[in-house]
Chain A
């Protein structure tokens, strides 16, 4: 069966996951994002590329930051943006997901940006659109359950390439709550596709998926061991809201073992960069001295994220 993200000619029509996406498509998105970065530095922070298109933000799960960055990206492309907070809308009246989608297609939507707590929801919508002859309506996955968050993965890749120039030869460590993290999964797929030779995940056994080695990563439970020789350290947010059962003794205990402090960062390479997808929990997974330190690229990640989302939307809409 064909990857539902691609059309018959292999062009990207939806962005659902980085898993299985060819390296040249990922590189094309990253390359396209470069000129979009400079648009934010202009007086008129807008280009007319998606003028007259309607982008619907369908957020079935709360997220202020991701929704805002997609909204800014779409507006800088001159699209019209409609935000639907579905959690408190139609579905609570009993409408099914696909009925909601069909209604919005009838309102001439051009693109859906979908966030859902259930893994696979954006995939379901994309497959439905393809099946009903509406493949001209594009779907961007803005995070689904524990599955994928491809635009976050892409902006992480963009940030790494910006600072490290080349993926070959890099050692990248992803630290913390990998179990609940769609960000980690998308990033791992992207890094391996682009030829990063060593990807490590670091965390307690309770927060690493049992089959994580199948993704081609090295597993470390000792953070000091795992940080040795790293070029890039990606800290993950401890997702307390998703935890069921007692996975951790306490936040203080977690910080002691897996929090990134200046002293632990010193174990990585001297020019290692520190990333975090946000929002961060200071004093739980990252020390303020590191978060605000000179090796932190956490705020540039946010800026690049808008350019990467502009690139994704223009590639999808342009075919």
Chain B
């Protein structure tokens, strides 16, 4: 199934063992090098940012099931911290081609809800296939799309 970041925003994250709602999806943490969703950030827990690694999720269309109530973990590395603090996020990011020309800003990202693989990035200028992504930094999402 193809899902998108915008469609999955605020989707409930439920613990598979206790059926407790752990929170709602607040953000996606993406590994642009590996072309996949690495983790989701879960909100509404009144604590520091919690993320759930992709490997511990089943990504359903109405709810996301974590393998257990203790699946959410603290952010450990700087890059993930930048992501949960909103400093480095796909959506809203400037898109910059390796040719040095800007290609709009990111509006939405589609991904495979089974594997977590990114499919495409929708920008204000059009769509970029995920295979063209190079890196995501605080300045831009760099893509090698040919003009």
User: Does A pair with B?
Assistant: no
